[in-house]
Amino acid sequence: MSDPLENLLPANTDTILSISSFGTMLYQARGLTQTLEVIGAAMQQERTINGILIDLSVQQFRKYASTITSPNDVEAPPLDGVWPGMTVTVDCAVSLAYLTSGGNGPYNRPQVSGSSYVLGSYTFYRPVLTMLVKKVQTHFDEWKCSVGWTIECEEV
């Protein structure tokens, strides 16, 4: 059996994460990190009068926030003109998983082409998320001549 992570990079790319909608450019980088976390509005929990914690959240708030960071890039993406509220499409580097048989499925999120694989009882995939930019940050290290940047986004 071949390793499902053996050929992780898509053909003709240098990275598994990409961000589109920066004008007409598709930006890709190496050495970056990505986090996915559940948005705050997805967590609506209260305790009953008997002290039992219950979930009051509604399904439409089950969305992700993402922070994409490249601490030492050679060249930053075209960040001039990238403002909070701008829509971007992120082909995530982070994989999600669901129970293949009888599971809850991928919550109707599109998958990065070719990223899906089954390992044991679970199907792993990298989601494609339509997100709004929340925060953009960049910095430059003169001595190392390296650019760092961070983009925080939230799923629409």
Domain boundaries, the chain: 21-93+130-155
Tokens coding 57: 């959240």
pLDDT of residue 3: 47
Can you tell me the distance from the alpha carbon of 64 to that of 35, in angstroms, rounded to the nearest whole number?
10
pLDDT of residue 109: 86
Full strand arrangement of the beta sheet holding 25-28? 25-28, 18-22, 87-91, 128-141, 146-155, 64-73, 33-38
pLDDT, block means (10 residues), the chain with 156 residues: 47 65 60 91 94 93 94 78 91 91 74 90 93 93 86 95
pLDDT of residue 2: 46
pLDDT of residue 30: 67
